[in-house]
Structure formats: structure tokens, C-alpha cells
Amino acid sequence: MPTAISSYGAEISFSPKWWSYVSSTRIMVSSFCNVALANEDIADKIAMTAQELLENAVKYSADAEHNVSLRFSIEADDQITLEVSNVATLESINTLRSQHAEVSEGDPLMAYLQKMQRIAMDPGSEGSQLGLARIRYETGNDLKLSIDGQRVTMRVQFALTKAER
């Protein structure tokens, strides 16, 4: 008798020196989710989230010796979890904490618009963290930040509604 699969997914890990792997990973995540979920809209949101989080992880990694990792799983109850982790410097961790707190407060659209306005007023600024605000606004999901020493993990969970299945 066949056993039902309760969850499935994928994991990929690479050195932050390979920036080009970010877009390749997005394509892989999108393809996997399109097949597994048969829902292009959700697959696109998950892939966009993966790309934004990977870009931050690569950009703010402490060094090329510690890999950036992406892991996502699809549970039988239609809960999808995406996690990206990397090793970061204390300065980058403090910046991420601050940016995470800023985009996690209030209305997601307002947080996104405020970030875009700051970028427009100071286009040369480094580390806008616009991607975090974009994820929250476009997916409607919260970002969970966890820090263990220098290991930083951003987690986003997607719950499919009956209409999306």
C-alpha cells in the first residue's frame, strides 16, 4: 500500500561569492512550486520571496566561506515554508534587526511606499532593504527573523486558501 507524502521540498546551498546563483535558484523554486502546487500566482510569490531573501543573504554575508542556504517545504496541509540563512557580521545583523522591525510594523503597503520614497530621495544609499518590505506587501505574509550567534535566518510561511488550491 503506498504511503502518503506529508511534506516535500528542496534545499540549496552555495557560497555567497556566486551571486549568479540567486536568479538560477529563483527559477528552480518557481519551477518546483509551479509543478507541485499547480498555482502560478503562489509559485511566483514564493520565487520572488526566495530571490529577495537570497539577494540580502548574499549581499550581507560575513564571508565566502560560509554558505547561504535556502530551504523550502510544502506540507500536506498546504502550508509552505521558505527559509534563507547565512552567516553575517554583527553590523549586518544589527542593520537587519532594525530593518526587519521597521518593515514589520503597521500597514504593509505604507511600509513599502515609505521605503521606496526614501530610496527616491537618496538613490545612492546603501542597504535599503526594500526587498523585505516588498515581500510583506506582495505576499501578505510576515517575515520571521531568528539569530543564533552569527547565523541569521529569515522565514516566511505561506498558507494556501481553498481558492488557491
> pLDDT tens digits, residue range 9-58?
889 999 999 889 999 999 999 999 888 888 899 999 999 999 999 999 99
**Count of H-run helices and E-run strands, the chain:** 5, 5
Q: What are phi and psi of 63, to 5 degrees?
A: -165, 175
Q: How far is CA 143 from the centre of its chain?
A: 8
> Does the reported pTM lie above 0.85?
yes
Per-residue pLDDT for 6 more than 80?
no
Q: Tell me the residue length of the chain.
A: 165
In the chain, the amino acid numbered 153 is: T
pLDDT at 52: 95
Per-residue pLDDT for 112 more than 80?
yes
**Would you state the cell numbers that stand for residue 144, as one nine-digit string?**
520571521
- Give the residue with greater pLDDT, 143 vs 36: 143
- Give the residue with greater pLDDT, 67 vs 79: 67
Name, in order, each residue with C-beta under 8 angstroms of 78's C-beta and a sequence gap of 6 or more.
159, 160, 165
Domains, the chain, ordered by start: 8-164 (3.30.565.10)
**Closest among 156, 143, 51, 150 to 99, alpha carbons compared:** 143
Mean pLDDT (whole number) for 81-91: 96
Mean pLDDT (whole number) for 72-87: 89
**Would you state the cell numbers that stand for residue 67, as one nine-digit string?**
554558505
